[in-house]
Amino acid sequence: MAVENRDPAVRLDRGFWLVTLLLAVLAAIGIVYWALLAPITSWLPEAVDKAQQIDSLSRFLMASGTALFIFVAGYLLYFSIAFRRRASDGPDAIGVQIHDNNKLELWWTIVPAVFVVVMAIFSIQIWAGIQLGDNNGMVVEALGHQWFYSFRYPDVHGEITNEMHLPLGTPVTLHVTSYDVIHSFWVPDMRIKADMVPGIINTLRFTPTKVGRYQIVCTEFCGTLHGEMNKQYLVIDTPQKYKAWYQGWQQKNAHASDAIPTQSTGAISLSGGNVNAGKMLFTQKCSACHALAPFSQKVVGPGLKGVLSDPAHPNLVDGAKATPENVAKILQKGYKGDMGQMPNQTANGLTDKDIADLVAFLKSTK
Amino acid sequence: MAVASSLLSTPVTHGHDDADQLYIETRELRVQGFLLFMVSDLVLFSSFIFAYLYLRNTGQGWPPPGAPHVDIWLAAMNSVVLFGSGATMHFALENWKHRNFMKFASWMVATIVLGLLFLGGQGVEYVSLYTKDHASWGGSGIFGASFFTLTGMHGFHVFVGVIYLTVLLLQATAGTYTFSKYTGLTLGTLYWHFVDVIWVVLFSIFYLL
Amino acid sequence: MAVAAVHAGGIADHIHPEPEGFIRKYVFSIDHKIIGIQYLVTTFMFLVLGGMLAELIRVQLMNANGGFMTPDTYNEVYSIHGSTMVWLVIIPMLTGAFGNFVFPLQIGARDVAFPWLNMLSFWLFPPAGLMLYGSFLMGAPAAGWTEYPPMSLQGQAGTSMWCAAIFLVGVSSTLTGINFLVTLLKMRAPGMTYTRMPLFCWAQFVTAPLLMIATTALGAALAALFVERQFGVPFFDPTKGGSPLLWQHMFWFYSHPAVYIMILPVFGIVSEVFPTFARKPIFGYKMIAFSSCSIAILGFMVWAHHMFTSGMAPFLQLPFMVLTMLIAIPTGIKIFSWVATLWGGKIHFSTAMLFAVGFIATFTLGGITGVFLAAVPFDLHAHGTYFIVAHLHYVLVGGSLMGVFSGLYFWFPKMTGRLMSEKLGKWTFWLFFIGFNGTFLPMHNMGLLGMPRRVAEYDPQFQTLNRIASSFSFLMTFAILLIIINALYSIKNGKKCGHNPWNARTLEWQIPSPPHYYNFKHIPSVFANPYDFNEPLPYRGLEDELTDAPPPVPAAAH
Ligand code: HEA
Ligand code: HEA
Ligand code: CUA
Ligand SMILES: [Cu+2]
C-alpha cells in the first residue's frame, strides 16, 4: 500500500496521558466495585453452591468488561473532542497522515488475547465444577408441562405438582425433561438452568446452601402461557422440615399407585379402544418417557413398540405375561421397577377410556 | 438449471467472433458464477447429509426400528450407470473441442439415455421399498426423512440435468454454440459431473456405511 | 490475481444501452444503482412495519400483567418483529441496498457481473415480505424468529408460510452473494488490487461467501421444517424419532454467520465514514481487512453457543465457548483501529460521523456482553432472559441500525445529488442515542434479575424497569421517524451539493451525483489506496467525468 509518504512520528501529548490516567482510575473504580463491592447477593440470593461459583465468574467478567468499555469509550470521547475540526482550521485541513503502527497493533492484539485467555481459563474452571460432577446426589425429577412443572421423588408415588422441596446441604441430582414441548427449568437464585427437551434428559447437579422459597421460571418459549410458567417455587428446607414434607407426600400418595381412583374399580374394559385416540394420548402423555421403539430403546421407561407382540419380551416388567389386560393393569396401577417409576392412572391423568385407547394403540404397534 | 445458467448471462453473452477478449471474460464470469452456484448447492446437500448423520447417531440407533433394508446391488448397478454417464459426458465435450459434431451429439445422447436409466433404476428401488416394506417419505420415520429426502433431491438434480443436457444438445444442433465459443456446454458438463460426485457421497453413506 | 481483468471492450467496460421507459428504468431495472435504491426503499418500509410491531411489544410490556394484547397475539407480534428486522430489514439493507449501490462504483465497474440475476434477487424479496405479513391472516408463526420445534410443529398454518417466505429471502440473498463475489473477483478497475480496495468493498467481499453458504444451510433447515409440518416427514419430532436439537444445530449454523452478515458491512461503512470525516487514512488498513476474514471464518465455528443449556454434550461446550471468545480479538482490532483513526484527525462531526462514533460505543458494549454470554457458566444464568434481548439489540440496533443510518446520511447525496438536513440530523442522532440506551440498557438488569424473554406478562418486580424501557423506546421511534421524514423531504428540497460534498476520496465520489446509468465515461485506473489525504487522487482517466463530454457509445455487443 501507500509506502510513498512516510508516516510522521506519533507524539502523544500531556493531555493524552492525563486522560489515560483518568480512565485508569475510573477503570480501577469499576473493577473494585464489581470485584468487591457490588452487593450481588442482595439483588439475588445465592441458593445453591453453584450460584457462588457463577457469581465469582460474573464479578470477574463484569469487572474486566467495565474496564475495557471505559477505555474504549473514554478514548473515543476524548479524541472526538480533542481532534474535532476547529473554526480556526480551514475546510480542507487534514489530520496527521498515519497509516500503521505495528507495535501498537501488536499490543492491542495481545491485550485482548490475554483477556480472552484469562476469561477462558476462569470460565473453564467454573464450567468443570458445574458440568463434570458425578450423579451421586439424591435423584429428583422435574418434568415440564404446558404450563406447569411436576416433580418426582424416590419412593413417592405419582407426581407432585405444586412445590418442589429440597433439604439444605444434601447434594441433588436433578433430571429434567418434558412431556410436550421444550421448556426450561431455571431458578434465578440458583444461577443455573437446563432446558426440558422432550425425549432428552438433562441434568443439574447442586447442593442447596440457603433456606428459602425461590421462584422457578421457564425460559424457553413453550406456547400461549409461557409467561405464566413462573408460579411455582423451589423450597429449600432444613433437613427436618424437608423430612416432614417428604413423608407427608409419601403417605398422601401411598395409595395413588394401588388404590385406584373411584371411577375405575378393578379391571378396565378394553372394548372399543380407539387406535388413533391412543396414538394421540401416547404422544402427549407417554412419549416423554417411552420411545416407539423396541423394548431395549430406553428413554425413561422401555421402548413400547410391540410390547404385546415382541417375542423377545414375552413378559412385562412386572413379570406378568404381555397381554392387553396386564398392560392395562400397569397403566392403571403404575409400576416401580429398576428402571424407575411408571406413573399410575391418576398421575398420568388417564380415564379408563384413555387406557383402552392406549392399549389398542400399543397393540397396533408391531 | 437451464434457467439458472441463462440468468448467469452477463450483459454480453451472445458472443461476437470479433470481440474475443469479451468472450473470454464473459466465459470466466459465467464459469465462476456457475461454480459458486454449485458450491451453495453442495451446501444444501451437506446440510441434509448432516441431518441424516445426526439423526442416525442420536436416539434410536441405525437402522431405526422398522426401517426397510435397502438393496445395495440395485444401487450399485445404478451407480455404474451414472458414473458411465459422467464418462460419456466428458467424451462429448472433448469431441466438441475437437470440432467433431457427430461424435459430440452421439455421446450426448448416450449421456442422456444413461441419465434416464438411472432415474428408472431409482424408480424401481422406490417402488420396491414402498411395496415390500411400506417405506414412504413421511410414513417410515427418520429413515424416510433422510433416505427419501436425500436420494430424492439427487434424483431431482439428475432429472433436471437430463432436461438441461437435452436443451444443450438442441441448442448445439441449432448452432447456438460455435466450436470456439461453447461456455454453455462447459457449464452443462460441470453440472453433470457435480451430480455424479454427490451420488458417490450418497451411495457411501446410505449403502456402505 | 492482483490486477482485475478489465480492458477496453472488455466485460467491465460494457455499457447497457440507456434504459428507456419508466418500467425498464425504475421497476424492472438491471442497473445496480436503481436496484440498490429499490432495496433501500423496501427495507425502510419493512423497518417501519417491524418497528411498529416493536412498539406494540413495548406497549404490552408497560404493565406486568400485559392486557394490551392476548398472549397469543403477543407471541405472533415479536416473532414477526424478529423475523422482519433480521431478514427483511438489516440483511437486505446492508447487502442489497448499500452493497448494490456503492461497491460497484467503488471498484470502478459499470455494473455487477450478472445484472439480470441481480434484478431477480430483488424481485424475489418483496413477495417474500408480503408472504411473511400475509401469514398474519392465516395465523402467524408464534414461536419466535428461531421457531424451535416441537413448538413450531404445533404452530398455526402461518408457520409454514413463514418457512416459505424466509426460504425465498434466502434464495434472494444467496444469488446476491454469488453475484457480488464474482463482481469483486473479476470486475475491479485496472490497478484496483486487493490492497487498494476501499474497506467497504472488503466488507462486502467477506460477506458474500457468508450469504452464499450460511443462507443455503438455512434453506435446508426451512425446507425440512416445512415438509415435516406439511407432510409429516419426521426430522424434529421426538415422538417420531426426530430430534428437536437437530433444528437448533441447523438453524444456528446459519444464524450465527448471519449475525456477521448483519455487522461486517457496517464495519465497512464505518471504515469509509471515519477517514473521510477525520481527514486521515484509516488506521491499520490491512489489519481491518484481515480481521474481517478471520471473523467470517470463526463465525462458522461457534453456532452452538446458542445451545449451551439445551442439552448438547458438555464436552462440546468447551470448543464452542473458546472459539466464540476468540472472535473478540479480531473485532477488538477493528474497534481500536477506528478509535486510533480519530487520533490526530481534524474531525468534522457530520451526522454520518456522529452515528459512526455512536456505533463504536454501543457496539462495543453489545460485543462485550456477547463475550460474557460465551462463557458457559454465565450463559447458564443469562440464557433465555432479557439479557439476551439487551445484547442482541445493542449489536443489532446500536450496531447494525446505527451503521445503516450513518451510511444513509453519508451516501444519500450520492444517490440524489442533495444533502439531508444536517441540523435536523444532529438532533435526530442525540434523540436516537438517548432513546436507544434508555430502552435497552435496563434490559440487562431485567434479565440478570430473572425476567425471561418472550413473555406477554411478567413478575411485577420488573414493572418499573419495563416502563422506563418503553418510555425511551417511544423517543427512539420518534427519532427514526425524523430520519425518514428528513430523507423524504430532502429528496426534493435538500440542499444541492455537487458531486462530492464530503470531499471523500473513493471512486464513487469522483463522478456526478446521481451517477449516469453507465457510471463511468471511461473505466478509470487506480494506482494507490484511496486514503492518503495529502496525496492527489490516485486515479487516472476521470478527466471527462464532470465535463459534458459525450457519454461512451454502448460497447461492442449489440
Ligand atoms: C449483529 C449481530 C450480532 C453480533 C455482531 C454479535 C456478536 C457476538 N455475539 Fe451475539 N447474538 C446476536 C447478534 C449478534 N451477536 C443475536 C441476534 C442473538 C440472540 C439470538 C436469539 O436467541 O434470539 C445473539 C446471542 C448471542 C449468544 C447466545 C446467548 C444465549 O442465547 O444464551 C452468544 C453466546 O455466546 C453471543 C455471543 C456473541 C459474541 C461473543 C459476539 C462477538 O462477535 C462480539 C465481539 C465484539 C466485542 C468483544 C467488542 C469489541 C472488542 C473489544 C473492545 C476488544 C476487547 C474485548 C474483550 C477482550 C472482551 N451472542
Ligand atoms: C435488526 C434487528 C432489530 C431491530 C432494529 C429491533 C428494534 C427494536 N426491538 Fe427488537 N428484536 C430483534 C431484532 C431487532 N429489534 C430480534 C431478533 C428479537 C428476538 C425475537 C424473538 O425473541 O424471537 C427482538 C425482540 C425484541 C423484544 C423482546 C420481545 C420478547 O422477547 O418478548 C423487544 C422488547 O422490547 C424488542 C424491542 C425492540 C424495539 C423497541 C426496537 C426499536 O429499535 C424499534 C424502533 C423503530 C421503529 C419504531 C420504526 C420506525 C418508526 C416509525 C417510522 C414511526 C412509526 C411507528 C409508530 C407510530 C409506532 N425487540
Ligand atoms: Cu414452559 Cu416456557
Ligand atoms: Cu451467535
Q: What is the grid cell recorded at C53?
A: 410491531
The answer to whether residue C8 scores a pLDDT higher than 80 is: no
The answer to whether residue B185 scores a pLDDT higher than 50 is: yes
A175-215 pLDDT, tens digit per residue, is: 999 988 999 999 999 999 999 998 888 999 999 999 999 99
More confident residue, A182 or A313: A182
pLDDT at C259: 92
Cβ separation C241–B39 shorter than 8 A: no
- Work out the pLDDT band at C19, boundaries 50, 70, 90: confident
Residues of chain B in contact with residue A198, where contact means CB-CB under 8 angstroms, are none
pLDDT at A296: 76
- To the nearest whole Å, the CA of C471 is away from the closest chain B CA by 44
Cβ separation B60–A291 shorter than 8 A: yes
Q: CA of A10: which chain C residue's CA is closest?
A: C344
Least confident of A126-140, A262-276, B182-196: A262-276
Per the prediction, chain A carries an average pLDDT of 84
pLDDT at B2: 45
Pick from C9, C221, C224: CB nearest B21: C9
ipTM metric:
0.88
Q: Which residues pair with C526 in a beta bridge?
A: C539
Q: What is the mean pLDDT of residues B36-63?
A: 86
The answer to whether residue B174 scores a pLDDT higher than 70 is: yes
The answer to whether residue C426 scores a pLDDT higher than 50 is: yes
Question: Counting atoms of ligand 1 from 1, which one is nearest the CA of C336?
Answer: 53
Q: How far apart are CA A177 and CA A151, in angstroms?
A: 11
pLDDT at B44: 93
Query: Residue C514, preceding bond cis, omega within 30 degrees?
Result: yes
The answer to whether residue B80 scores a pLDDT higher than 60 is: yes
Q: How far apart are CA C511 and CA A172, in angstroms?
A: 71
Is residue B36 less than 8 Å (CB to CB) from chain C? yes
Q: Kindly report the protein residue whose alpha carbon is nearest to atom 3 of ligand 2.
A: C85
The answer to whether residue A259 scores a pLDDT higher than 70 is: no
Residue list, ligand 2 pocket, CB within 6 Å: C 47-48, 51-52, 54-55, 57-58, 78-79, 81-82, 85-86, 89-90, 144-146, 389, 392-393, 396-397, 400-401, 439, 453-455, 473, 476-477, 480-481, 484
C537-556 pLDDT, tens digit per residue, is: 888 888 888 888 777 766 54
pLDDT at C554: 60
A21-35 pLDDT, tens digit per residue, is: 999 999 999 999 999
Is residue C19 less than 8 Å (CB to CB) from chain B? no
Per the prediction, chain C carries an average pLDDT of 90
Q: What is the mean pLDDT of residues C281-289?
A: 90
Residues of chain A in contact with residue C279, where contact means CB-CB under 8 angstroms, are 85, 93-95
- Work out the pLDDT band at C70, boundaries 50, 70, 90: confident
B107-161 pLDDT, tens digit per residue, is: 999 999 999 999 999 999 888 888 877 777 777 778 888 889 999 999 999 999 9
Specify the pTM.
Answer: 0.85
Residue list, ligand 3 pocket, CB within 6 Å: A 144, 147, 183, 218, 220-222, 226, 229
Q: Is A135 helix (H, G, I), strand (E, B) or coil?
A: coil
pLDDT at A354: 81
- Work out the pLDDT band at C323, boundaries 50, 70, 90: very high
Question: What percent of chain A is predicted at pLDDT more than 90?
Answer: 39
348-387 in C: which are within 8 Å (CB) of B?
A: none
Q: What is the mean pLDDT of residues A1-17?
A: 63
Q: Is A185 helix (H, G, I), strand (E, B) or coil?
A: strand
Q: What is the mean pLDDT of residues C250-260?
A: 92
pLDDT at B131: 84
Q: What is the mean pLDDT of residues C420-426?
A: 92
Q: How far apart are CA C417 and CA C497, in angstroms?
A: 6
Question: What percent of chain C is predicted at pLDDT more than 90?
Answer: 66
Q: How far apart are CA C285 and CA A1, in angstroms?
A: 9
Buried (b) or exposed (e) across C29-57, using 16+ Cβ within 10 A? bbbbbbbbbbbbebbbebbebbbebbbbb
Q: Is A309 helix (H, G, I), strand (E, B) or coil?
A: coil
The answer to whether residue C108 scores a pLDDT higher than 70 is: yes
Q: What is the mean pLDDT of residues A219-233?
A: 89
168-187 in C: which are within 8 Å (CB) of B?
A: 174, 177-179, 181-182, 185-186
282-341 in C: which are within 8 Å (CB) of B?
A: none
Ligand lying nearest the CA atom of residue C432: 2
Question: CB B54: neighbour CB atoms within 10 A?
Answer: 18
C306-317 pLDDT, tens digit per residue, is: 999 998 888 889
pLDDT at C531: 87
The answer to whether residue C1 scores a pLDDT higher than 50 is: no
Is residue B31 less than 8 Å (CB to CB) from chain C? no
The answer to whether residue B29 scores a pLDDT higher than 50 is: yes
Per the prediction, chain B carries an average pLDDT of 84
Cβ separation A1–C285 shorter than 8 A: yes
Q: How far apart are CA A220 and CA A201, in angstroms?
A: 16
- Work out the pLDDT band at A256, boundaries 50, 70, 90: low
Q: Is C375 helix (H, G, I), strand (E, B) or coil?
A: coil
Question: Counting atoms of ligand 3 from 1, which one is nearest the CA of A223?
Answer: 2
Q: Is B209 exposed, middle or buried (0-12, 13-18, 19+ CB in 10 A)?
A: exposed
Gap from CA of A217 to ligand 3 centroid (Å): 8
C470-507 pLDDT, tens digit per residue, is: 999 999 999 999 999 999 999 999 888 888 899 899 99
Mapping DSSP onto H, E and C, the string for chain B reads CHHHHHHCCCCCCCCCCCCHHHHHHHHHHHHHHHHHHHHHHHHHHHHHHHHHHHHHHCCCCCCCCCCCCCCHHHHHHHHHHHHHHHHHHHHHHHHHHCCCHHHHHHHHHHHHHHHHHHHHHHHHHHHHHHHHHCCCCCCCHHHHHHHHHHHHHHHHHHHHHHHHHHHHHHHHHHCCCCCCCCHHHHHHHHHHHHHHHHHHHHHHHHHHC
A64-108 pLDDT, tens digit per residue, is: 999 999 999 999 999 999 888 888 887 778 888 887 878 888 888
pLDDT at C340: 92
For C270-299, the DSSP string reads HHHHHHHHHTSPPTTHHHHHHHHHHHHHHH
The answer to whether residue C400 scores a pLDDT higher than 80 is: yes
pLDDT at A7: 52
- Work out the pLDDT band at C263, boundaries 50, 70, 90: very high
Cβ separation A94–C533 shorter than 8 A: yes
pLDDT at A58: 94
- Work out the pLDDT band at C325, boundaries 50, 70, 90: very high
